[in-house]
């Protein structure tokens, strides 16, 4: 029974972390189903929208998400997890309901924007909470677990929802998504309160959650001054290379380029059925998920730089070759290579970012960094749709690949704290 005792003491399986991971998985399941499967196909077939218009619609979600990420980080540091996350999941719930009952294009955009507002607290809450529990020695490992939950949700959402989408009906699909959001609301209610939140560390001792202990009543007439002072303290406490900011944008920009055109490429160019497309997504996503935790542990032990180099190289190569290969067998291999590449990138890249974050301002700084990354997810789909409409289906994949090559070069000039010197 020694393994059971170790499992109970493992910080990765504390109730607080598991609640955050469940919320991450289910919300990303819903988002993946909507953004990667339902909306692109529905807007193309039923509304006759171009790829550029679809890109702007999806960008509305990322704009809504990104606008609130930095303020959400500050709110977490002041109000705690339960209020922040519960507000977000309720807004997400409302957005799914709106999209399920409307057939008008304008309301779809409103629903997407509201989905963005609702999911804005997700990443700041999850990353702030889990990295606080993990400590300095487990940053890459815990980030691997977080991204495993994210990728599992994003990957399974489009796959599972295909079985609930009829020829001309999305009723059962939306019912499933509404049921999922009901579960999320219930889990969010179990998150720690602001006043007495604590996280159980592996040795059984209680560590007060930093964002809770810092909370103080703010008089309405002084709140702007408080925010300004707080953000000034955040800026002074950060230790990060100036090159990190364009790199964070480029990393998500490369991913955002692929978001609106993956389904279009599979359906219109490769002529895949829904089942074949599901297998296609699983081929890359499953490889990434299976490799994430082992890679995270290796990054914590061996360092960041080698994994960044290998990850960017593999991912860039697979994207540059992707649209020039017509054999399905080779395409599956390239998708698997892309999955392995991102399994290298995700823990090492996020460990690098986490090393620059001061523990006492974790919520606000993560919110700020996620805002920068979010801009890449806003601009990416817009650029992608235009590239597809004007230059054809090769252009988005080539652009994404070349951006990753640029990141491969850029990361060589970003200083990485030595082990033991990380905050």
Helix (H, G, I), strand (E, B), or coil: what is residue 192?
coil
Q: Of how many residues is the chain composed?
A: 423
> Can you give the pLDDT at residue 167?
63
> Can you give the pLDDT at residue 5?
47
Which candidate, 401, 361, 416, 337, places its Cα nearest to that of 231? 361
CATH T-level topology, domain 17-190+239-413? Growth Hormone; Chain: A; (1.20.1250)
**How far is Cα 383 from Cα 375, in angstroms, rounded to an integer?**
12
Which candidate, 17, 122, 63, places its Cα nearest to that of 378? 63
- Helix, strand, coil shares, percent, the chain, to 5: 80, 0, 20
Helix (H, G, I), strand (E, B), or coil: what is residue 282?
helix
Q: In DSSP terms, which residues pair with 6 in a beta bridge?
A: none
CA dihedral 70, 71, 76, 78 (to 10 degrees): 130
**How far is Cα 227 from Cα 219, in angstroms, rounded to an integer?**
12
> Can you give the pLDDT at residue 409?
92
The alpha carbon of 137 is separated from its chain's Cα centroid by a whole number of angstroms, namely 22
User: Residue with structure tokens 């074949």?
Assistant: 276
Which candidate, 172, 85, 96, 166, places its Cα nearest to that of 129? 85
Residues near 413 by Cβ (< 8 Å), separated by ≥ 6?
Answer: 241, 243
Contacts 24+ apart (CB under 8 A), 215-219: 215/77, 215/78, 215/79, 215/80, 216/78, 218/78
Per-residue pLDDT of the chain (423 residues; tens, 9 = 90+): 454 444 344 555 678 888 888 999 999 999 888 887 788 777 777 667 776 777 777 778 877 777 776 677 667 767 777 888 888 999 999 999 988 887 777 788 888 888 988 888 887 788 777 777 766 556 667 777 787 788 788 878 887 887 887 666 678 888 899 999 999 999 988 887 654 344 444 444 444 444 343 434 444 445 555 556 655 655 655 566 778 888 889 988 998 888 778 877 887 888 887 677 777 777 777 788 788 878 878 887 888 888 999 999 999 999 999 888 888 888 888 888 998 998 898 888 877 877 766 665 666 666 677 778 878 887 888 888 888 888 888 999 999 999 999 999 988 887 765 544 433
Task: State the alpha helices, DSSP H only, in 135-261.
Answer: 139-161, 171-188, 210-213, 223-237, 244-258
Integer-rounded Cα radius of gyration of the chain: 21
Q: Following DSSP, what letter does each residue of 171-189 receive, concatenated?
A: HHHHHHHHHHHHHHHHHHT
DSSP 39: H
> Can you give the pLDDT at residue 203?
45
């Amino acid at each position: 029974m020694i393994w059971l005792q170790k499992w109970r003491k493992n910080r990765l399986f504390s109730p607080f972390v598991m609640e955050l991971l469940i919320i991450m998985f289910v919300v990303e399941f819903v988002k993946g189903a909507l953004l990667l499967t339902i909306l692109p196909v529905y807007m193309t077939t039923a509304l006759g929208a171009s790829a550029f218009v679809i890109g702007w619609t999806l960008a509305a979600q990322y704009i809504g998400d990104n606008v609130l990420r930095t303020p959400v980080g500050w709110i977490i540091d002041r109000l705690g997890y339960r209020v922040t996350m519960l507000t977000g999941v309720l807004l997400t719930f409302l957005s799914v309901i709106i999209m399920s009952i409307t057939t008008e294009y304008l309301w779809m955009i409103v629903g997407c924007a509201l989905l963005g507002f609702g999911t804005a607290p997700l990443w700041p809450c999850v990353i702030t909470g889990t990295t606080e529990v993990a400590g300095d020695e487990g940053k890459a490992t815990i980030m691997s677990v977080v991204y495993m939950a994210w990728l599992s949700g994003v990957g399974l959402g489009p796959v599972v929802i295909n079985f609930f989408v009829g020829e001309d009906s999305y009723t059962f699909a939306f019912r499933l998504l509404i049921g999922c959001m009901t579960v999320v609301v219930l889990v969010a209610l179990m998150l720690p309160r602001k006043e007495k939140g604590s996280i159980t560390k592996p040795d059984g001792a209680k560590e007060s959650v930093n964002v809770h202990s810092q909370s103080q009543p703010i008089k309405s007439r002084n709140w702007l001054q408080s925010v300004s002072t707080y953000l000034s303290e955040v800026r002074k406490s950060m230790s990060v290379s100036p090159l990190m900011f364009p790199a964070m944008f480029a990393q998500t920009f490369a991913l955002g380029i692929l978001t609106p055109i993956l389904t279009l490429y599979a359906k219109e160019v490769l002529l895949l059925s829904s089942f074949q497309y599901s297998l296609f997504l699983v081929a890359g996503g499953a490889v990434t998920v299976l490799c994430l935790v082992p890679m995270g542990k290796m990054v914590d032990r061996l360092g960041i730089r080698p994994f960044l180099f290998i990850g960017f190289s593999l991912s860039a190569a697979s994207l540059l070759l992707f649209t020039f290969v017509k054999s399905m067998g080779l395409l599956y291999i390239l998708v698997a290579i892309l999955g392995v590449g991102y399994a290298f990138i995700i823990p090492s890249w996020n460990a690098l970012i986490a090393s620059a974050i001061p523990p006492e301002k974790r919520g606000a700084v993560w919110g700020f960094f996620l805002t920068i990354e979010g801009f890449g997810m806003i601009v990416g789909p817009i650029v992608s749709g235009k590239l597809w409409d004007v230059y054809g289906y090769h252009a988005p994949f080539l652009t994404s690949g070349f951006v990753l090559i640029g990141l491969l070069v850029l990361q060589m000039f970003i200083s990485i704290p030595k082990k033991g010197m990380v905050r």
